[in-house]
């Protein structure tokens, strides 16, 4: 019989696929002997069954009953009993942390009778009724789908009526009345009374957690984090411990290190006389753990000891949820904590230096996305600023944008191309769309573990929280602080490193990490000066990136078209040029020369046009090869259709027609230009006369470029340099095409070599960007010394997409429907396009074992794609210069992943 329920004593941290992260870690803590309230986990397999069938597996009910019986036996109390009732929490827990995205229900088991038993058992009537009103509120919103604002408004009205500053100021009688109000809301909204059967509450809460896996916000979060929709969530049913039993009770969240900076210490939030959701929701501003030490030293000392135990056990920053119930500490959850990009690098190196992890593990703990985040600019410390307030720095960075006060506006303005900062009293999971659309998030309430802080850190979005000086008025669409009113649309700036909030725009400066990557370690350290935190970060990046370079197999080249681009790419660590797009060298003033070539009717006129272009092309290549001296430089011959160098057919036709209608005599040259434009016009130019087809149809075009490459190389060799050009032919579909171009290229290279008296070794290869090329790569390899997979066009031709058209037309809808988890132009479609790459690699090496293989599409700088390219055996990736450091890091991580897979296989 399938097993769908596991007691915490049966779990461990290696069962995350089955028990989810929360359940697996509760089992692990139980095994370590830490004080964990007993409970059980319903597996992800049960959730997947429910998702596929619409009902629970028949075995589940009996297994849940047995698990509840076991809990009741441990405590000697009955779930929802009239005397000393046992209560439970029902929480989600997926394999990958999705903070705030799914549901939780606390105090399950309370009803009109058991609330009296709880009051007597606890000796605290107020606590019991507070717990009951929380259950009805959470159950109503989460399980029954009632608008949460209805409960919130009733609570606020009660507080106003009683003159209460916060929830804790309401009396037991106030809460009794509130319970009746809440029950009336449930009856009015659902037509049924609040359920009194404790088991009915448990079963309904479990279904609600299962259903929460597929809410819009959860799907959106998974798409952003690239988490599969098929995983499902586990459900954890855990005996309740209470932080709202009075001043000697409380609840909190702690980190074993600062998740924003990586510094060791006691970091977290604590709320006396509260339940866990109060901390995460940010509805009350929290105390620090240092404050907790003054309130309850014994619990604080025990918590610090457990924090040390968990960090040493997991060998990583741990995020811990805990409750103190009348002086007794209970551990409710632990997980490897989310952290900022800067903290990720610092913590990894700190743990290496403490002897807890290896450099391979440190490399695996950071990501290319985090490194990319660290390359962003920061506020200029010397600039004039108007400080509005200073609050809690939750996620670093420098964000400047227009203030907006709700998620819908943030998303709408982002779609209009505007840059926005979302300002809220506190965020909740429904704000996720607006949070993603914003460059920064500012909240008046909450701490470092509030919803806004946790989600922002995970996304790498700048965030400041707990700005209690702000009076946020979403109805008036403004906030007020210190006599200043900021209306929606006004520009503000927030510093997620310092917690400062500024009025107006603030100039930014390059980050110290980018300074290091672009200028070198010595200059970067000199620039940060006495800033120890910045210096620590620079050194951490230096050490980890250096290790990545040492262990990676994949080389990293850059896509660059000019000497200036090539110089920057080399400074950023590029080991060559994987793609020089020569068509970019024909833009601007040179467009007229291409027009002359296209319009030429006689060989002499064509020769004149080519002769004018030759010295310009030669100089382009001299600059490029000089910048990349001694490194491979792959030059792609001209690729796009010729119409791209001519005027727009519609605009030119209309202009001539209007002028003719006005009696103007049109010059022969302009008439000839229109005729040429009409001749070159194609219905689908990206599948028309371009790439290798141009070289075969337009006499002298490829020959010009090959001669310019050869002459540039010869002149630099004569000057004592060591250029390493490679000629790449685009859009090849048949080895015959490549053979013809190769014969002409070799003839020209030989001519130049003899004329210049220099030995020229210039490999000739091609791009693999058509399905036919990948499937006949064994034939093409007879004429090619290297392949470069052009995955942009290969994706278009495999899917039948026109990239310029489809991304705006329907990709958004495809994401919503789950056709894509991520755009195939962003991360390679490993199943489809990737299969062609894999086959092209296999066939190419079958014919020519020593063939050099690379990729030069945008996928060359995408972290997930780099791991795929490493796996299929490419020799290098090529990407834009600014993505080179990311590619270096991910190539190292890919090598470590392969080594770890081999060691465990």
Percentage of the chain beyond pLDDT 90 is 68
The answer to whether residue 641 scores a pLDDT higher than 80 is no
- Predicted local confidence at residue 905, as pLDDT: 33
Residue 584 a catalytic site member: no
Catalytic, out of 47, 451, 542, 632: 451
Catalytic, out of 318, 463, 580, 856: 856
Closest by CA position to 472, among listed 488, 457, 456, 461: 488
Read off the tokens for 625: 């090869």
Comparing 109-113, 257-261, 724-728, which segment has the lowest mean pLDDT? 257-261
Tens of pLDDT along 49-70? 999 999 999 999 999 999 999 9
- Predicted local confidence at residue 171, as pLDDT: 93
Neighbour count for residue 171 (Cβ, 10 Å): 13
Tens of pLDDT along 27-43? 999 999 999 999 999 99
Long-range pairs, 458-461, Cβ under 8 A, ≥24: 458/97, 458/99, 458/225, 458/338, 459/224, 459/435, 460/340, 460/341, 460/369, 460/370, 460/373, 460/395, 460/397, 461/395, 461/397, 461/399, 461/435
Global pTM reads 0.79
Residue 389 CA to residue 403 CA, distance in Å, equals 15
Read off the tokens for 533: 């935190």
Long-range pairs, 220-228, Cβ under 8 A, ≥24: 220/432, 220/433, 220/436, 221/98, 221/101, 221/432, 222/98, 222/821, 223/815, 223/821, 223/822, 224/436, 224/459, 225/96, 225/98, 225/458, 226/821, 226/822, 226/827, 226/864, 227/94, 227/96, 227/98, 228/821
Q: What is the DSSP pairing of strand 876-879 with strand 378-379? A: unpaired
- Predicted local confidence at residue 480, as pLDDT: 95
Q: What is the mean pLDDT of residues 363-385?
A: 88
Q: Are 578 and 559 in contact (CB under 8 A)?
A: yes
Percentage of the chain beyond pLDDT 70 is 97
The answer to whether residue 607 scores a pLDDT higher than 80 is yes
Q: Are 791 and 857 in contact (CB under 8 A)?
A: yes
Q: Give me the chain's average pLDDT, please.
A: 91
Q: What is the DSSP pairing of strand 386-390 with strand 484-487? A: unpaired
Tens of pLDDT along 767-806? 999 999 999 999 999 999 999 999 989 999 999 988 767 7
Q: What is the mean pLDDT of residues 430-438?
A: 89
Tens of pLDDT along 496-511? 888 999 999 999 887 8
Residue 856 a catalytic site member: yes
- Predicted local confidence at residue 245, as pLDDT: 84
Residue 435 CA to residue 297 CA, distance in Å, equals 38
* Dihedral in degrees, nearest 10, Cα atoms 607, 610, 612, 618: -140
DSSP H helices in 692-832: 692-697, 701-718, 735-756, 771-775, 777-780, 791-799, 803-809, 811-817
Read off the tokens for 318: 């741990």
pLDDT band at 101 (very low <50, low <70, confident <90, very high): confident
Sheet holding 39-42, edge to edge: 5-7, 39-42, 233-239, 88-94, 104-108
Sign, CA dihedral 369-399-573-852, equals: positive
- Predicted local confidence at residue 685, as pLDDT: 74
Q: Are 104 and 277 in contact (CB under 8 A)?
A: yes
Residue 854 CA to residue 634 CA, distance in Å, equals 11
The vertex-282 CA angle with 279 and 283, nearest 5°, equals 105
């Amino acid at each position: 019989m399938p097993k769908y329920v596991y007691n915490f004593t049966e779990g461990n941290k290696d069962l995350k696929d089955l028990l989810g992260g929360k359940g697996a870690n509760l089992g692990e803590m139980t095994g370590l002997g830490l004080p964990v309230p007993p409970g059980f986990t319903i597996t992800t397999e049960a959730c997947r069954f429910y998702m596929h069938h619409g009902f629970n597996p028949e075995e589940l009910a009996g297994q849940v009953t047995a698990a509840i019986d076991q809990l009741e036996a441990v405590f000697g109390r009955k779930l929802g009993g009239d005397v000393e009732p046992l209560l439970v929490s029902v929480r989600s827990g997926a394999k990958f942390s999705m903070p705030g995205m799914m549901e939780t229900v606390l105090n399950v088991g309370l009803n009109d009778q058991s609330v009296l038993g709880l009051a007597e058992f606890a000796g605290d009537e107020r606590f019991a009724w507070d717990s009951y009103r929380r259950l009805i509120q959470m159950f109503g919103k989460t399980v029954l789908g009632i608008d949460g604002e209805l409960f919130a408004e009733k609570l606020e009205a009660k507080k106003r009526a009683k003159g209460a500053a916060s929830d804790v100021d309401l009396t037991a009688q106030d809460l009794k009345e509130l319970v009746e109000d809440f029950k009336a809301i449930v009856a009015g909204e659902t037509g049924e009374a609040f359920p009194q059967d404790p088991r009915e509450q448990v079963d309904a809460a479990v279904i609600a957690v299962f259903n929460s896996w597929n809410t819009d916000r959860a799907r959106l979060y998974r798409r952003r984090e690239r988490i599969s929709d098929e995983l499902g969530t586990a459900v954890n049913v855990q005996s309740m411990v209470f932080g709202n039993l009075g001043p000697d009770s409380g609840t909190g969240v702690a980190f074993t290190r600062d998740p924003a900076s990586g510094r060791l210490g006691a970091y977290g939030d604590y709320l006396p006389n509260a339940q866990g959701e109060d901390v995460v929701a940010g509805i009350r501003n929290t105390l620090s753990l240092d404050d907790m030490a003054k309130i309850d030293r014994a619990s604080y000392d025990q918590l610090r000891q457990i924090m040390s135990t968990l960090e040493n056990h997991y060998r990583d920053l741990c995020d811990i949820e805990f409750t103190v119930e009348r002086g007794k500490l209970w551990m409710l959850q632990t997980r490897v904590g989310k952290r900022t990009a800067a903290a990720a690098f610092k913590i990894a190196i700190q743990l290496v230096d403490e002897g807890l992890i290896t450099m391979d593990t440190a490399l695996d703990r950071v990501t290319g996305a985090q490194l990319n985040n660290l390359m962003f600019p920061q506020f200029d410390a010397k600039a004039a600023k108007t400080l509005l307030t200073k609050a809690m720095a939750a996620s670093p960075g420098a964000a400047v944008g227009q203030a907006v006060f709700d998620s819908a506006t943030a998303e709408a303005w982002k779609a209009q191309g505007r840059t926005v900062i979302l300002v809220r009293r506190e965020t909740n999971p429904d704000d996720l769309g607006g949070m993603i659309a914003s460059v920064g998030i500012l909240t008046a309430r909450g701490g470092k573990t509030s919803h806004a802080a946790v989600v922002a850190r995970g996304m790498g979005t700048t965030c400041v929280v707990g700005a209690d000086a702000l009076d946020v008025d979403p109805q008036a669409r403004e906030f007020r602080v210190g006599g200043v009113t900021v209306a929606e649309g006004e520009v503000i700036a927030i510093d997620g490193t310092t917690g400062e909030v500024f009025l107006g725009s603030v100039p930014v400066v390059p980050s110290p990490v980018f300074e290091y990557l672009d200028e070198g370690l010595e200059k970067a350290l000199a620039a940060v000066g006495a800033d120890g935190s910045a210096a620590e970060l620079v050194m951490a990046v230096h050490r980890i990136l250096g290790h990545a370079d040492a262990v990676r197999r994949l080389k990293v080249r850059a896509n660059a078209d000019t000497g200036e681009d090539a110089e920057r790419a080399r400074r950023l660590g590029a080991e060559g040029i994987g793609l020089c797009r020569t068509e970019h060298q024909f833009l601007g003033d040179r467009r007229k020369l291409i027009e002359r070539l296209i319009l030429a009717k006689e060989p002499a006129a064509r020769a004149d046009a080519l002769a004018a272009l030759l010295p310009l092309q030669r100089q382009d290549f001299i600059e490029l090869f000089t910048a990349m001296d001694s490194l491979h430089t792959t030059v792609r011959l001209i690729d796009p259709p010729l119409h791209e160098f001519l005027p727009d057919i519609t605009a030119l036709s209309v202009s001539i027609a209007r002028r003719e209608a006005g009696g103007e005599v049109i010059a022969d040259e302009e008439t000839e230009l229109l005729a040429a434009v009409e001749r070159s016009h194609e219905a689908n130019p990206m599948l028309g006369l371009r790439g290798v087809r141009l070289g075969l149809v337009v006499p002298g075009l490829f020959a010009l470029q090959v001669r310019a490459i050869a002459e540039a190389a010869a002149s630099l060799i004569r000057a004592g340099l060591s250029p390493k050009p490679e000629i790449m032919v685009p859009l090849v579909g048949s080895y015959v095409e490549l053979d013809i171009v190769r014969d002409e290229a070799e003839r020209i290279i030989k001519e130049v070599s003899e004329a210049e008296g220099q030995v020229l070794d210039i490999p000739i290869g091609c791009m693999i960007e058509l399905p036919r090329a990948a499937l006949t790569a064994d034939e093409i390899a007879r004429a090619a010394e290297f392949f470069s997979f052009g995955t942009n066009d290969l994706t278009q031709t495999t899917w039948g997409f026109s990239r310029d058209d489809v991304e705006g037309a329907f990709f958004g809808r495809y994401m919503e429907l789950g056709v894509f988890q991520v755009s195939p132009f962003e991360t390679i479609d490993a199943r489809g396009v990737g299969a062609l790459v894999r086959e092209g690699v296999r066939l190419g090496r079958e014919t020519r074992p020593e063939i050099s293989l690379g990729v030069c599409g945008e996928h060359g700088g995408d972290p997930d794609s780099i791991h795929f390219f490493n796996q299929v055996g490419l020799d290098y990736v090529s990407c834009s210069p600014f993505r080179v450091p990311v590619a270096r890091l991910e190539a190292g991580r890919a090598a470590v992943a392969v080594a770890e897979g081999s060691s465990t296989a």
